[in-house]
Each structure stands twice: as C-alpha cells, then as structure tokens.
Amino acid sequence: MDSFFLKLSVMLVPGMLAIVCHEVSHGYIAWRFGDPTARMMGRLTLNPLKHIDIVGTLMIFFVGIGWAKPVPVVYENLRNPKRDMIWVAAAGPITNIILATVSAFLLRGVVAIGNPAASGSPFAMFMEPVVLMLAFSVYINLLLAIFNMIPMPPLDGGRVLVGLLPSRQAAALSRIEPYGMVIIIVLVFFTNMFSYIISPFLMLGVQLLAGSQAGLVMGVTRLMMH
C-alpha cells in the first residue's frame, strides 16, 4: 500500500500534466489555424477533468505511459488543412519536449543546491518528492514525445508524415489510420520495438537534457515502474 501511494504521489502530477498539455497544445494550434472546435468544447484548459481518460490514466501506473481523451480537430476548418495539420500534430510532441527540458533544468538546479535527502529538515522533506516528480517528468514527457512521433496514423508522427507526403502517398497512409493503434500495440508489446527503437532515443534524450542527473532520472523511473 505504501508503495502504491508513493507511485501515486510521484507519477500522477507530472503524468497528468504531460498528457493534458499535449492535448491542449493540439487544440490551441488548431484554433490558431482556424478550427475553433476544441475551444468551443471547453478543451483549451489545463483542468484534467476536461481531458481525463480513466484507462489512459491508469496506464501511467502500470506501463509508464498514458493518454487523455483526444482533442477534437475538424480538418476541414483549418485554413490550409494539409499544411496546417502538420503543425497541429507536431504541437503535442513539441510541448512534451519543452516540458521535459524545463523539468531537466529545474532538476539540475535543485540537485546543484544540495541533495534534499541528505538531511531531515522540513525543507528536505518537501524537496525530496519534488526531485522525484521532476525526474519522472523528464522521462514521461520524452517518452510521450518519442512514442507519438512514430510515423503511423493516428499518432502525431503519422499525421505529420501525411502532411509532408505528396497527395497520393498521403491518402494511402491515411487509410491505415483505423488499424494504426492495433498495429502499434502489437509492435510495442509483442516485438522488441521498445528496446531497439524507442529506448535508445529515450536514453539519448534523458542524457542530453538531464546530463549528470540522467542516472537519477532512470533510477526514479525504475523505482516507479516496479
């Protein structure tokens, strides 16, 4: 039970912030490019109750990655649908990279001040969970960014690729979308795709952003995942 509440306290805030900001950014960029659907439905808010998907939230605790309810985007409302959808799709992963970068620099700063776990002061007791949350935030945001940039619709990378390809090839790739998530789930859970493709990029990103604290980030993540 104590282990569950530790995971809850460390993973919930950065996990929810990562997936909510990801979805809000899609809706915000769509609005800026002419589609007000997300704004009209009240989805341009950081209130997690507007975005929460129960299964997606629980998956944060069980597999370390989750999702929110997708923000609706009406393709035809965009001023230049094919071009604008590239930016709408890319907005989510870009937001996660920004959050990971901010978390990494805050983590470096906090650790540079001094190890909060080294003393039993009230300040140390406050800062220890902050360090754990920042470390997990680096991991979860990078993982969301990398996973979502897999070039397979309906993931963001697939939609970016549809926008970049010539019309005939884009139409062919779009036809995969109804089956895309099934294909991705099979590849991630029943092949070595995570170990050989996602994990190397994830480790590279953690090392680049967290620097000397990369070991702390991965150590906290392993603790949370077990």
- Residues recognised as catalytic: 23
214, 206 Cβ separation under 8 angstroms: yes
DSSP 8-state class, residue 117:
G
Listed in sequence order, the residues at least 6 apart from 116 whose beta carbon sits closer than 8 Å to its beta carbon are 110, 123, 124, 126, 127, 128, 130, 131
Please tell me the distance from the alpha carbon of residue 184 to that of residue 156, in angstroms, as a whole number.
13
Listed in sequence order, the residues at least 6 apart from 48 whose beta carbon sits closer than 8 Å to its beta carbon are 16, 20, 68
Please tell me the distance from the alpha carbon of residue 60 to that of residue 67, in angstroms, as a whole number.
8
Tally Cβ neighbours within 10 Å of residue 118: 9
153, 180 Cβ separation under 8 angstroms: yes
Structure token pair of residue 177: 């979308």
Listed in sequence order, the residues at least 6 apart from 71 whose beta carbon sits closer than 8 Å to its beta carbon are 23, 24, 26, 27, 30, 38, 43, 51
